[in-house]
Chains A and B, each alone.
Chain A
């Protein structure tokens, strides 16, 4: 019972990081119907930004989150205005957007190699190995903090999308851009903001990742894949679904150790992906519309 409780808490904490990792990918797909393959590169770049801020200016990674959000919002807007907006919307632009954003990822990765080499980088905060006790179990302070940030992000996104004009505009464009235009919504502006917001969320995930893991310029590939699994599990385009999808993936990976050898637990998510795509292509929670 004690072991199961510890694993359950670990799964919930891991789900916090996973959901933060997937929000950006889900938002951009939900609004623009584009799979942002540069997502992994942005996560990696944000981890390096956090490391530089910590190393040069002693700014704690959690305090660096606002900086990362602003920087990567601007990066996202620049990528959209400079590249993505020239791609046709809809199925015609599908392959083009994949190739274009994959290219952006390669550029970001190679730029990181040039700037920082292939050395592993880590951030060691004073609380990196500290723990908090909860009902007899000990849990990493950093993982708890990451979970709290992910939860706040979920609430903020939910409020943004449900309680603000911008959020309602984003949802309207996600549902039907032509109709949104007819009611006076500036669809182009919504696209720009959504891409910027999605990129900023990827930046947030990168900062959080930098507090948990060592990273190199090749960091981000498995994060992209898992993010993709999560948004499919949660229902493409649903923010709450993304959080639930992250919880399902994290629980599957953590508890799979009871069923399969630990080295196979990383594959459990991909098996889930195939099963869900076959049986419930709309996601476990069946939501195709951003909300």
Chain B
């Protein structure tokens, strides 16, 4: 059977999970529908989000469930496999909402799937929280039932630029700095470009964008773009790319003997796959930024999350699990604050949410002026030759000091 149905606290679909409360006015259980790409091209990431959901549900039910108007109500996850397929993500969401009548919805992963699926939630007026869609286009449609835990990719660029500005102020990087901006032609890449451009515009005289080029996914040869970058004589090489293109481009970059005072591939660089593909020296001093990192887990909510996750799964969490966990936790919080499973009341609580969070900045909100998309800084990391990738920015969560300019560049 192509569709995999998983329920953490039982495999029975939540047909009784609608708004029809028991005699006391409180439901026997709250059923939350979700789909994730558990097979197909995004299966690796889907499995990680599933772990985040599982931990959040486990922790909530360990405490008796969600406190709904003074009564603890168990919460059940009805999770289906959308096989990384847009049509299936839409159809399964429709089924969960209209046939299985789940109370609320946790979204799938990847911009394309969330973009399609969120429309179903909006049409059916059901609160929809996703930890897997970062593109601002998802939240620019005026939807009022859709909430995103991933901060915009523009923030990734902004946070990196803030660290770069600090290095400029310290005299470690040139000012003005010539920037070679290269981005994949996707919503992810466009948001990254916007972040760099907006920051450069807001700091006149500090940056000159000398190359601004995009490329299609799964490129086989980047020699033309790299040739343009070389000719521009940039100081900073700032790229936004997914893993396969990052590996192909960085291999060509290195074999072309190119070097810049600073190099970043957006979120890429710290993953073990990158080190496997390029070797340690191939990723040294690459700057990267992600939504969350386990090195933040030294205190408070982060410490609890990292410890419980490690105990449950025997491995340390990455940002995917953290974002899945926070998406579920924010929905639980909104239900508890609403004191009811009424969808509109929970939607209003999500809109007004301001909760302590494991995410950078320590707070999670879904601001209306951002279309319900969370807005917080990223954590910037840098690969060092000893194999470590400490957080180097923001200062309050930093676990190490960054290096600029790139010491491997000579001349």
A141 close to B255 (CB less than 8 A): yes
Q: Which residue of B lies closest to A214 (CB)?
A: B244
Q: Which residue of B lies closest to A131 (CB)?
A: B255
**Interchain CB contact under 8 A, A120 and B273:** yes
Q: B119 near A: Cβ within 8 Å? A: no
Residues 243-285 of B contacting A (Cβ, < 8 Å) = 243-244, 247-248, 250-252, 254-257, 273, 276-279, 282
Out of B225, B244, B278, name the residue touching A257 (CB < 8 Å). Answer: B225
B410 contacts chain A at the CB level, 8 A cutoff: no
Shortest CB distance B403–A (Å) = 20
Residues of B within 8 A of A265 (CB): 216, 224
Instruction: Give A212 to B42 CA distance when docked, in angstroms.
Output: 22
| A122 and B277 form a contact (CB under 8 A) | yes
Q: B228 — which chain A residues lie within 8 A by C-beta?
A: 257
| Complex interface residues of chain A between 111 and 165 (CB less than 8 A to chain B) | 113, 117-120, 122-124, 128-131, 138-143
Whether B277 lies near A6 (C-beta < 8 A) is no
6 CB-based A-B contacts, threshold 8 Å = A124-B278, A124-B279, A143-B255, A214-B273, A255-B224, A261-B214
- Is there contact, CB below 8 Å, between A7 and B227? yes
Determine whether the beta carbon of A129 is less than 8 Å from that of B278. Answer: yes
Residues of B within 8 A of A88 (CB): none
Whether A6 contacts B247 in the complex (CB less than 8 A), given A129-B255, A140-B252, A141-B255, comes out as: no
Partner of A3, one of B44, B231, B247, B273: B231
A222 at the interface (CB under 8 A from B): yes
Q: Shortest CB–CB separation between residue A58 and chain B, in angstroms?
A: 14
CA distance A14 to B254 in the complex (A): 17
Q: How many residues of A contact B (CB 8 A)?
A: 45
The chain A residues found within 8 Å of chain B, CB to CB, are: 3, 6-7, 10, 14, 17, 113, 117-120, 122-124, 128-131, 138-143, 212-218, 222, 250, 253-257, 261-267
Distance between Cα atoms of A107 and B357 in the complex (Å): 44
A266 to B223, CA, bound (A): 13
Known contacts being A129-B255, A218-B41, A266-B219, is A212 close to B248, with CB within 8 Å? yes
Interface centre among B185, B255, B257 (most CB of A within 10 A): B255
Could you tell me which residues of chain B, from 181 to 196, have a CB within 8 Å of some CB in chain A?
185
Identify whether the interface residues of B are mostly helix, strand, loop, or mixed.
Answer: helix
Question: Which residue of B has the minimal Cβ distance to A223?
Answer: B220
A29 to B257, alpha carbons, bound, how many Å? 41
Is the beta-carbon distance between B216 and A263 smaller than 8 angstroms?
yes
Closest to B40 in A: A118
In-complex Cβ contact of B41 among A10, A118, A257 (8 A): A118
Closest B residue by C-beta to A217? B41
Closest-by-CB residue of B relative to A253 is: B221
Q: For B44, what are the chain A residues with a Cβ–Cβ distance below 8 Å?
A: 117-119
* Given A17-B220, A129-B278, also A3-B185 (CB < 8 A): no
- 8 more contacts with CB within 8 A, not counting A122-B247, A128-B279, A140-B255, are A7-B227, A122-B276, A129-B255, A138-B255, A214-B243, A253-B220, A254-B221, A262-B215
> Cβ of B43 < 8 Å from any Cβ of A?
yes
The reply to whether the CB of B63 lies closer than 8 angstroms to some CB of chain A is: no
Q: Which residues of B are at the interface with A, using a C-beta cutoff of 8 A?
A: 39-44, 84, 185, 213-216, 218-221, 223-225, 227-228, 231, 243-244, 247-248, 250-252, 254-257, 273, 276-279, 282
Q: What is the chain B residue whose CB lies nearest that of A118?
A: B43
What 6 A-B pairs are tightest by C-beta distance, nearest first?
Answer: A10-B223, A122-B277, A140-B255, A263-B185, A257-B224, A129-B254
Please indicate the chain B residues that have their CB under 8 angstroms from the CB of A215 in the complex: 244
- In the bound assembly, the distance between CA atoms of A266 and B216 in angstroms comes to 7
Central interface residue in B41, B185, B251, by most chain A CB within 10 Å: B251
Alpha-carbon distance between A213 and B214 when the two chains are bound, in angstroms: 19
Query: In angstroms, how far is the closest chain A Cβ from the Cβ of B210?
Result: 15
**Bound-complex Cα distance A131 to B257 (A):** 8
Docked Cα-Cα span, A253 to B215, in Å, equals 12
B220 proximity list for chain A (CB < 8 A): 14, 17, 212-213, 253
Q: How far is the CA of A202 from the CA of B227 in the complex (A)?
A: 31
Tell me the minimal C-beta distance from B263 to chain A in angstroms.
14
Please state if A117 and B43 are interface contacts (CB–CB under 8 Å).
yes
Which residues of the other chain, A, contact B216 by a CB distance below 8 angstroms? 262-267
Among residues of A, the one whose C-beta sits closest to the C-beta of B275 is A124
Complex: how many Å from CA A46 to CA B216? 25
Residues of B contacting A213 in the complex (Cβ-Cβ under 8 angstroms): 220, 244, 247-248
Residue of B nearest to A110 (CB): B39
CA A15 – CA B278 in complex, angstroms?
A: 24
Task: Report if A214-B252 is in contact (Cβ < 8 Å); known contacts: A118-B44, A265-B216, A265-B224.
Answer: no
Known interface pairs A122-B277, A124-B279, A213-B244; A7-B214 also in contact (CB < 8 Å): no
Q: Kindly state the separation between the CA atoms of A216 and B43 in the bound complex, as whole angstroms.
A: 11
A113 and B256 contact, CB distance less than 8 A:
no
**CB-based contact A128/B277 at 8 Å:** yes
The answer to whether B41 and A216 have CB atoms under 8 Å apart is yes
Complex Cα distance, B42 from A94, in Å, reads 34
A10, B44: Cα distance in complex, Å: 34
CA distance A253 to B40 in the complex (A): 29
Instruction: Report yes or no: A138 in contact with B219, Cβ–Cβ below 8 A.
Output: no
In whole angstroms, what is the CA distance A113 to B40 when docked?
A: 7
Query: How far is B222's CA from A14's CA once the two chains are assembled, in angstroms?
Result: 10
Specify which chain A residues have a CB less than 8 angstroms from the CB of B214 in the assembled complex: 261-263
Smallest CB separation, B126 vs chain A (Å): 29
